[in-house]
Chains A and B, each alone.
Chain A
Amino acid sequence: MSTVAENTAVSAAPPKPLMARINWVKLAPWLYTIALFVLWELLVIVLQTSPTVLPAPSRVFQAVAQYWSPIWKNSLQTLYTTTLGFAIAVAAGLALGILVGWSKAIYAGLYPLMVGFNAIPKVALVPILVIWYGIGTIPAVLTAFLISFFPIVVNVATGLATIEPETEDVLRALGAKKLDILLKVGIPRSMPYFFGSLKVAITLAFVGSVVSETVASNYGLGNMMSSAQSQFNVPLVFAGLLALAVEGIAMYALMAWIERRMTGWAHRSSMSH
């Protein structure tokens, strides 16, 4: 027995073999991404697909380098319309969510309206926005806003509506007004729901802005891809998709980071159960 214990103690001292020192969990996202691109490349080689149908990743990266300047400019434009629309959605969603969570009557009145509104495909609203504001930045911002604010409203309202009745009783018995309960309990309590909804909302905001740019703009990744498509420049279409994916992942990661920073308590307390 004792020799076994000694052995393990000794073997712990020299550096571990390379494979054991690598943090596979940390590395996994990169490995899987690379694997995806390799598979894609192999598939294109084996099936000998034409670049106008499915370009190989190497061809797409080549397009990224070749069209770097338009891709960069249009990416910034899309990032701008998306984050602006998203920011408006955050402000409006938070305000409306608190309003809806504040009163049962407002909730009852607004809820069916919001569900109905949310059921409308937002792409159908773009022509209307174009009639009002012309093509370009404003419809893209507004589409991003319209598509992303619903999950924020619902989440904030849910956080407010699920306050434990006992907590409310304890405070009301002390003479707390409705506003006290909203400020002391309701709003802090709904913050994890709110920050959680940002991840969903930012992704949707990209959908909204790109849809709008595709049909009604002269700028942005959506527009760039639709004009590339009309010129059969399929590698550039894929380069645009790649740029969108990168922006989407970056913003999602940012939202996830903000969520962790702001509401760490919610992941440890009973609320997360």
Chain B
Amino acid sequence: MPHLVSIDNVDMRYGGAGGTLAVSGLSLKVGKGEFAAVVGPSGCGKSTLMKLVTGLHIPQSGVVVVAGKQVTQPVSIVGMAFQNPTMLPWRTTLDNILLPLEIVDKHRRRLRAHRREYVEKAEHLLETVGLKGFGSKFPWQLSGGMQQRANLCRALIHEPELLMLDEPFGALDAFTREELWCVIRDLHAAQGVTIILVTHDLREATFLADRIFVMSARPGRVLKEHVVPFARPRALDVMYEKGFNDMVQELHGEIASARVAA
């Protein structure tokens, strides 16, 4: 399987020579179409990893390769979503979702002439995440879960090959979170997009991912890589199986000892 993302022995230090070494000797590979999850103790460099892959930060040493090209500047084949939905409050939900099209070179030139087509696409995405008819609402008229659904639409509107999710469900209640797991699961199945999900929720990682990377405490590197064996499509019931709980427990143990080691 060709790798869409490959990180090789990367060091990233913030704030010059004396600054914080966030990750060190970090290596991981994610295949095309795969769903990868990254878990680890807080502050271990998970968000840093996201920024390295998207080209928001360039590492001091080591190489990051995305889609066969070394990353030296932001790569526009990615969509991103964070814990904080970062919708712009002066735009309607629909206009928020269309925002990436006003930025990405390929689309911004076509947007004016083909607006209808793009609006249809956005509305289709809204329907997929269960927000049909909410496009004309402003983000502050939506609940937290609905905002996060819209946020996913925005991350996907320009048809990215890679979707980066940084603790996107962290601020939601348990039921909403499970609903959104299913939304993400179905989006992954339907769109064939590669997903890297950073999370501190081990059940979330185990339920969604094909492959889980466990990171060490700062400076972060990959301690262990797990392949998640459960067949797809997965129903929420899978979480009551013994194998599932064993895996969550194993991950938990690994992170606990990584924290102690720090």
Chain A residues proximal to chain B, CB less than 8 Å: 164, 166-167, 169-176, 180, 184-185, 188-189, 191, 263, 265-266, 268-271
Q: Interface of chain A, helix or strand or loop or mixed?
A: helix
CB <8 Å contact, B140 and A270: yes
* Inter-chain contacts of B81 with A (CB < 8 A): 170
CB of B88 within 8 A of CB of A167, answer yes
In the bound complex, residues from chain B placing their C-beta under 8 Å from that of A188 are: 88, 90
- CB pair A265–B55 under 8 Å, yes or no, is no
Minimum CB–CB distance for A171 against chain B, Å: 6
B103→A176 contact, CB < 8 A: yes
Q: Is the CB of B89 within 8 A of A265?
A: yes
In B113-158, the 8 Å CB interface with A consists of 138-140, 154-155, 158
- Partner among A173, A180, A268, A270 whose Cβ is within 8 Å of the Cβ of B55: A173
A98 to B127, CA, bound (A): 39
Q: Quick check: A174 and B140 within 8 Å, CB to CB? A: no
Interface-side segment among B10-18, B72-80, B169-177: B72-80
How far apart are the CA atoms of A167 and B85 in the complex, in Å? 9
**Are the CB atoms of B139 and A173 closer together than 8 Å?**
no
Decide: B80 and A164 in contact? CB cutoff 8 A: no
Question: Chain A nearest CB: distance from B59 CB in Å?
Answer: 16
Chain B contacts for A172, CB-based, 8 A = 56, 74
| Cα distance, A237 to B84, chains bound together (Å) | 57
Contact A269 B140 (CB under 8 A): yes
Interface centre among A175, A185, A191 (most CB of B within 10 A): A175
Out of A164, A169, A170, A265, which one reaches B140, CB within 8 Å? A265
Query: Which B residues are in CB contact (< 8 Å) with A164?
Result: 84, 86
Tell me if B105 is interfacial: C-beta within 8 Å of chain A: yes
| Residue among B100, B103, B155 with most chain A CB within 10 A | B103
* Contact indicator B139/A170 (Cβ below 8 Å): no
Please give the distance in Å from B199's CB to the nearest CB on chain A: 16
Contacts of A265 in B (CB 8 A): 89-90, 138, 140
Q: Is B250 an interface residue (CB 8 A)?
A: no
Residues of A within 8 A of B80 (CB): 169-170, 173
Query: In chain A, what residue has the closest Cβ to B73?
Result: A175
Residue of A nearest to B106 (CB): A175
With known contacts A164-B84, A184-B99, A265-B138, A174–B89 Cβ distance under 8 A: no
Does B82 belong to the interface (CB within 8 Å)? yes
A-B contact pairs, 18 of them (CB 8 A): A169-B54, A170-B81, A171-B103, A173-B55, A173-B76, A173-B78, A173-B164, A174-B76, A174-B100, A175-B105, A189-B88, A189-B90, A191-B90, A265-B89, A265-B138, A266-B89, A269-B138, A270-B89
In the complex, the answer to whether A185 meets B88 with C-beta atoms within 8 Å is yes
A180 CA to B76 CA, complexed, in Å: 15
Instruction: Please give, as numbers and ranges, the residues of chain B lying within 8 Å of A176 by CB-CB distance.
Output: 103
Closest to A183 in B: B102
User: Within the complex, what minimum Cβ distance (angstroms) separates B25 from chain A?
Assistant: 25
Alpha-carbon gap, A176 to B158, bound state (A): 14
Specify which of B75, B84, B102 is in contact with A173 (CB 8 Å cutoff): B75
- B contact residues around A184 at 8 Å (CB): 88, 99, 102-103
CA A271 to CA B88, docked complex, whole Å: 10
Q: How far is the CA of A167 from the CA of B81 in the complex (A)?
A: 10
